[in-house]
Chain A
Amino acid sequence: MEPHYFFPPAHAYPLNRFLFALKSNDSVRAGYLADAETTAREAGLDSEAAAALRDLDRDRLVACGAHPYLVFMAGLRLRMAGTPAAFERF
C-alpha cells in the first residue's frame, strides 16, 4: 500500500507548486480568492486539478498527485483568509 505521504509525482509539480504558493504566499492566496479560474490556469493546473481545488476536495486533489500536507495547509489558509474572525489567536 502506498504511504500516506507518497513520493510527489513529477506530473503534479505545477499543482504542488501552486498549493505551496497558496499556503505560503499571501499575495498568491489573495489573487486566487479574487479570481480562482484565471489564477489556477496561469499556474498551469489542468481542468481536473483546478476543479478539485475550487471544491477544496482533498481526495480528488491527492488523486491528482497533490502532496497531502500541501492540500491540508493550503485549505486551512484559504479558510482562514475567508473567515478570519472564526479563529482564536493566542
Chain B
Amino acid sequence: MPLVAAAALPHTPQLLVRPDTEDRDLVVRVHAACAEVKRALTDARPDVIAMIGGDHIEGFFLNAVPALAVFVGAEVSGTFDRYRYTFPVHEPLARAIVEQGIEGGFDLTYSQDLVLDYAFYVPLHFAMPEPPRPIVPLYVNVYLPPQPTPRRCYAWGQALRTILDARPERVALLASGGLSHYPGTDRYGSPDYEWDRQLLTILANGQGRQTASLTGDELDKAGNVELRTWITLLGALGEARARVICYEPSWHHGNAVVTWPV
C-alpha cells in the first residue's frame, strides 16, 4: 500500500525539557507545528509509524556502530529525565524491512534489545496520532564517523519505499532530526541558518534528490549530520514538494517541521 503520510520533525530535547536559556515562545511555536503534524497523522489513519532517526549514542555505543539498523522487537522503551516511554513495535513490518532490505542489497543491522533514543520519542511526544499507533524505529548513523554517505541514505530510502508500497499496512514515514546545530562543539552558538533556508527552498521545489549528491564533509560543515535521516526519507519521496510548516532558528538550532504530500 502506498504511504499515507510523510513528515520530518526536530527532536532537540529542549523542546521537552526547556532550560531558561531557551526562548519559550519559540519552543511553543515548534510545539504548535508538531501538533499540525499530529492532526495530519490522525487524519491519515496509519496502521504504523515508521520513523527514521539518528541514534545519539544511546541505543548503540562504541561496542557496535551500525550504519543502518532496524529495531525488530515487540516493544521499545526509552527514558529522559522524568519521562518514560514505551511503544509497541509493528514486528511484521519491521521484520519485512530487514529481510527485504538485506535481500535488496542493504546489509542492515537489526536488534531486539535497544534503549530508544530521544530522536524517536521527542517527536512522538508531540506528534503521535490519536489513537497511538505502533512504531518501527529505523536507524541511520549520524554521529559516529564514518557515517553512511548521503547517496547511500537516499538509495536506502528508495528501497524502503519499494518495500513499504508492497506491504498491506498503511504506513506513515517520518524523519527525525536537524536542521543545523553543532552540539558539543565550538560552533554550538552559530548554526548555518542560511544553509538550512536554501535546503528548505530546494525541498519546497521538489528537488530533494539533490541532497543525495551532498558529501559527508558538507553535512558536517553545515551542522547537518542529522540530515541523513531526511535524505533517507527524501529517497522514499522522490520529487514530492515539501510544505514547510515552520522554520524556527533558536540561538543554537534550526528547528524545521515539514510535510510532504504522498
Contact residues of A with B, CB < 8 Å?
3-8, 13, 16-17, 20, 23-24, 58-59, 62, 67-73, 76, 79-80, 86-90
Contact = CB atoms under 8 A, between A and B. Distances in A.
Contact of B115 (A8, A24, A73, A90): A24
Closest 3 CB pairs of A and B: A68-B184, A72-B184, A72-B183
18 contacts: A3-B145, A4-B182, A4-B187, A5-B143, A8-B62, A23-B58, A62-B184, A62-B185, A67-B184, A69-B184, A72-B183, A76-B13, A80-B81, A87-B19, A87-B81, A88-B17, A89-B83, A90-B17
A24 B188 CA distance: 21
B29 interface: no
Contact of B57 (A59, A62, A67, A88): A67
Contacts of B57: 20, 67, 69-70
B77 to A, nearest CB: 13
Contacts of A24: 58, 115
A47 to B, nearest CB: 22
Interface residues of B, number: 36
B145 A73 contact: no
B39 interface: no
A84 B220 CA distance: 32
Given A4-B182, A4-B220, A13-B62, A67 B143 contact: yes
Nearest to B63: A17
Contacts of A62: 184-185
B15 A90 contact: yes
A8 B144 contact: yes
A79 to B, nearest CB: 8
Interface of B: 13, 15-20, 24, 27, 31, 56-58, 61-62, 81-83, 115, 125, 143-146, 182-188, 216-217, 220, 223, 225
B24 A17 contact: no
Nearest to A10: B62
Contacts of B186: 58-59
Contacts of B217: 3
A69 B31 contact: no
B41 to A, nearest CB: 19
Contact of B185 (A4, A23, A87): A4
A89 B185 contact: no
A35 to B, nearest CB: 23
Nearest to B80: A77
A90 to B, nearest CB: 6
Contacts of B62: 8, 13, 16-17
Nearest to B145: A7
A5 B18 CA distance: 25
